[in-house]
Structure 1
Amino acid sequence: MPPITCIDDLKRLHRRRTPRMFYDYCESGSWTEQTFRENTSDFQDIRLRQRVAVNMENRSLASRMIDQPVAMPVALAPVGLTGMQRADGEIKAARAAEAFGVPFTLSTMSVCSIEDVAERTRKPFWFQLYTMRDEDFLRRLIQRAKDAKCSALVITLDLQILGQRHKDLKNGLSTPPKLTPAVIADLMTKWRWGIEMLQTPRRQFGNIVGHVQGISDTSSLGKWTVEQFDPRLDWTKIAKIKEMWGGPVILKGILDPEDAVMAAKVGADAIVVSNHGGRQQDGAISSIRALDPILQAVGDRIEVHFDGGIRSGQDVLKAVAMGARGTYIGRAFVHGLGANGEDGVRSALEVIRNELDIAMALTGKRDIAAVDRDCILVPEGFSGRWQA
C-alpha cells in the first residue's frame, strides 16, 4: 500500500474496497448536499496565522473532553452501519481509538452491539442514543450502556425524522445488502470485503435485533426504525433521559444559539455543534459557521464541542482556535476503516495528529491548551449577516 499522507489517500482506498452502497452512505448528504459540501469548504475561509522565531520544542496535544483525558482534542463520532464498512468495524475502530487515547462513540445503529464492543476493548467508550417511542426498549438500551461501563451518553437531537438521502434510496441501502443484480456485480469487485464479512456473524443492527420483541432480522427493522424514532422529543424528555442515565451527558446536533442555551439549562455536560454531517437539514449553515454564535450565546456555562467537515489536523486547529473544547471526526475515520480496517483508523488518527501538531507549532503555540483566536484569521461576517 502506498504511504498514507492525508485523509484523501484513505478515502480513495475506501471507495475502491467497500461496496458502493456503504461508501455512498458515508460520503453523501441529504437532498442537494449543499450543507454536506459547505461543512468542509467553509473551513477554507479561515486562515492560520504563521508565527516565527518562537520556541517549538516540547509540544503537547493532550487535552480533556468532559473532564476525561484525551491524547488530542478529537473523538470518533458516532456513525451508523460502521460494521458494514468493514467486518466488525465498530470493534476495530474502538480498538484503534483506545490505543491512540481518544474517545470512541458507538452509535445506536451500529452493527456490532454494545456488548460486542465492551467485550473486546479494555477502556470505557461513549454511547450515542437515538430516542425511541418504545420506552421499555429505551430504558433497557440505556441500562445496557451502563452495564458496559460507557463513560458518557451522547444524545442525538437532530434525527427525530429522517432527512432524505438520494444515494441511499437509489442504492437500496440495507443491512446486510439485498442481493440484486447491481449489488452482486458490485460485490464481485469487492472480494476482500466479502470474505471478511462471511467470517463474522455481525451483519445486522446488533443493538436492536434480538433486543426488541418481533425483531429477529432486518426484514422488519426498517419499518420499525421509521416508526420508532421519536418526533415528540423535547427538552422535558431530554431532562428525563439525563436523569435516567445519571452520568455525563453530551447533546449532539445543536446548530442554533437558542438551542444551545436550552441545552445548558437542562444541565448537559457538553453540546456538540453539528448538523449531522449535512445528512439532515440540507440548506442549513455549516457547523463551522454556526460555532462562534453558539459560543457567544453560552459563554462558559457549558462545554462546547464541534462536529462537521473535519478532514485534517488544520481543521481541528481552526475549530479549537474558534473556541471548541473538543472535535469529532466521522467520515475521516470511516475512510480509514474502509481502506484498511483497524490499521486504517489508526492511520487516520496519525494523519490528524501530525497535521495538528505541525500546524499548531507554526502558529507559534506549543500546547493545545494555549491555542486561541490569536492563531487564526476569520473573515468579517463569517458567521453570517442575516436579515432579522
Structure 2
Amino acid sequence: MVQRQIPRPAEILELMTFKPIDLDGKRRRLSSALTIEDLRTIAKRRTPAAAFDYTDGAAEGEISMDRSVEAFEDIEFHPSILHDVSTVDTTAQILGGSSAQPFGIAPTGFTRLMQTEGEIAGASAAGAAGIPFTLSTLGTTSIEEVHAANPLGRNWFQLYVMKQREISYGLVERAAQAGYDTLYFTVDTPVAGARLRDSRNGFSIPPQLSLGTVINAIPRPWWWWDFLTTAKLEFASLSQTGGTVGELLDSAMDPSIDVEDLAEIRRMWPGKFAVKGVQTLEDAKKLADLGVDAIVLSNHGGRQLDRAPVPFHLLPQVAREVGDDMEIILDTGIRSGADIVAAIALGADFTLIGRAYLYGLMAGGRQGVDRAIAILSDQVERTMKLLQVPTLQDLGPEHVTQLSRVRRLEEEPRPRVR
C-alpha cells in the first residue's frame, strides 16, 4: 500500500516556480516564438492584411509555394551514430567569403511597407549574425544606406534588368562603389506573376485605402503610427513609385533580356556574379558553360509562374551535373533550420531565406529579424548534432531521402487521337 500524507505548504511552494513577468511587450512576444511559424502568427496579428498578404502570398493558386514548402516537409533524415558532436561548425564558404550559417537573407521588395525598419533591420541583423544580406532592386532603402547599416558585413545586390538599361547600369555601378561583393542577376521576371491576393487587397505603392483597409487597420494602430511618422515609403532605386505591384513590374521589367544582357552586366561587375531564378537542369548546364560563379535554384518563392518546378526537388540532379563547376544556392520553401540542413546535404552550397526573415520583421522589427535568425541557427545546429555530423562538409545525400506528394508520371508514347 502507498502511504499518503497531507502535504505541508512549504513542500508545495518548493514545487511551484513562477516565470518572471517581462514588462517589455515586444521582448515577451518574440521570446514566445519558438518557430518561424510562430513568428508568422505574430506577424499576421500585427500587420494589416494587404502588407501581410503581399509577403505571405504567391501567384495564382499558390501551388508552387505550397509544393515548395511540402517538399521540405516530405523528407526523411538518416542519422549517423557514434560521432563526436559536442561542438559543430555551421560556417559556410560561399562566393569568395564565409558565412557563420549556411543561409543568408534573400532580396525582398517593398520591405519598409511590411515594417518601417525594413532593409535596415535586415542588413544590421545579418551583419550582427555574420551572414550575408541581399538588397533588391525594388528595395525601399538605398544601396548606400544598407551599406551604412552593415558596413563590415557582406552585402549582395539583386538586379532586375529594366527597359531603361541606364537605370540598371547605374545601380550596378553604385553597388560596386559601395563595396557589395556579389551581384544577383535575376532571370525569372520578364513580366509580373498574377498575385491575386494583392489584386483583391488593392495593394499598391502608396497603399490605396478603402473601407475594408481602414477596418482592418483599426486593431493595428502601431503599424499605422510607424507608417505615418517615418520617411515616405518609396523605392530607393527607382523613380516610379505609383501603381500596383504588377503594374510597376510590367512597366519597368524588360521581357526581351537575353544572354547578351547577362554578358554586358557581367563585364561591368567587378565582384562575384550569380544568376537567380534557374528552374531547369538544362539552364543550369548552360550557365555552367558560361562560367558564372553561382546559380540560385529558385521559383521566386512561387510568386511568378505558378506550378513551376520545386527547387528542392531539382537540387540533387543539378548538384550531380554541375556542382563541380559552380556554386549552387537554393531558396523557396525554407521554413526551418532542418530544411536548410537537408538542402546542404543534397548538394546546395548555401541557402537564402525570404519569408522566414520577413515574418520576423513584421513581428518585431530588428529584434524580430534577430529572433528569426536565432531560431534558424539553433535549428541548424541541433539538426546537425542529431544527425551526428560535426561540419557542413560532412553532410551528404546519405543523410536525406526526398519523399514526394506530387509524383511525376513517366513519359510514355501516347496514341494519337483522330
Partner of 2:385: 361
Q: Equivalents in 1 of 2:104, 2:343: separation in Å?
A: 13
Which has the larger displacement, 131-140 or 96-105?
Answer: 131-140
1:348 equivalent among 372, 379, 388: 372
Query: Measured at CA, do residues 56 and 331 of structure 1 come closer, stay the same or move farther in structure 2, by a change above 3 Å?
Result: same
Q: Equivalents in 1 of 2:351, 2:183: separation in Å?
A: 16
RMSD of aligned Cα (Å):
1.9
1:90 equivalent among 119, 130, 133: 119
1:363 deviates by: 1.0
1:14 equivalent among 43, 68, 77: 43
1:326 deviates by: 0.1
Partner of 2:4: none
2:195 equivalent among 165, 184, 188: 165
2:309 equivalent among 285, 299, 309: 285
Query: Measured at CA, do residues 222 and 304 of structure 1 come closer, stay the same or move farther in structure 2, by a change above 3 Å?
Result: closer
Query: Measured at CA, do residues 383 and 368 of structure 1 come closer, stay the same or move farther in structure 2, by a change above 3 Å?
Result: farther
Per the alignment, in what secondary structure is the counterpart of residue 280 of structure 1?
coil
2:108 equivalent among 69, 73, 79: 79
User: Does structure 1 residue 177 correspond to structure 2 residue 207?
Assistant: yes
Is contact 1:318–1:376 with CA below 8 Å preserved after alignment? yes
TM-score after normalising by structure 1: 0.94
Is contact 1:277–1:308 with CA below 8 Å preserved after alignment? yes
What do the CA deviations read for 1:286-334 (whole angstroms, capped 9, x no partner)?
1111112222331311111111100001000100000000001100000
Query: Measured at CA, do residues 222 and 279 of structure 1 come closer, stay the same or move farther in structure 2, by a change above 3 Å?
Result: closer
Partner of 2:155: 125
Which one-letter code corresponds to 1:39 in the other structure? Answer: S
What do the CA deviations read for 1:202-243 (whole angstroms, capped 9, x no partner)?
41111112xxxxx4x526997564222010111221111111
Per the alignment, in what secondary structure is the counterpart of residue 69 of structure 1?
strand
Is contact 1:290–1:383 with CA below 8 Å preserved after alignment? no
Partner of 2:258: 234
Is contact 2:75–2:401 with CA below 8 Å preserved after alignment? yes
Q: Equivalents in 1 of 2:249, 2:62: separation in Å?
A: 23
1:109 equivalent among 119, 133, 138: 138
Q: Unaligned regions of 5+ residues in structure 2, if any?
A: 1-28, 413-418
What do the CA deviations read for 1:125-179 (whole angstroms, capped 9, x no partner)?
1010011010111111111111221111111110111110110111111123122
1:382 deviates by: 8.6
Which one-letter code corresponds to 2:105 in the other structure? Answer: L
Per the alignment, in what secondary structure is the counterpart of residue 75 of structure 1?
strand
User: Does structure 1 residue 137 correspond to structure 2 residue 137?
Assistant: no
Per the alignment, in what secondary structure is the counterpart of residue 295 of structure 2?
strand
Q: Equivalents in 2 of 1:237, 1:140: separation in Å?
A: 15
TM-score after normalising by structure 2: 0.87
Partner of 2:18: none
Q: Equivalents in 2 of 1:219, 1:323: separation in Å?
A: 40
Partner of 1:186: 216
Per the alignment, in what secondary structure is the counterpart of residue 276 of structure 2?
strand
Q: Equivalents in 2 of 1:385, 1:222: separation in Å?
A: 34
User: Does structure 1 residue 58 correspond to structure 2 residue 75?
Assistant: no
Q: Unaligned regions of 5+ residues in structure 1, if any?
A: 210-214
Partner of 2:396: 372
Is contact 1:111–1:202 with CA below 8 Å preserved after alignment? no
Which one-letter code corresponds to 2:162 in the other structure? Answer: M
Which one-letter code corresponds to 2:197 in the other structure? Answer: K
Per the alignment, in what secondary structure is the counterpart of residue 204 of structure 1?
coil
Mapping for residues 212-361 of structure 1, pairs under 5 Å: 215=240, 217-218=241-242, 223=247, 225-361=249-385
Q: Equivalents in 1 of 2:173, 2:81: separation in Å?
A: 52
1:360 deviates by: 0.8
Which has the larger displacement, 365-374 or 253-262?
Answer: 365-374
Q: Percent identity of the aligned residues?
A: 32
Q: How many residues align?
A: 382
User: Does structure 1 residue 69 correspond to structure 2 residue 80?
Assistant: no
Tell which structure's C-alpha radius of gyration is larger. Answer: 2
Which one-letter code corresponds to 2:189 in the other structure? Answer: L
Partner of 1:212: none
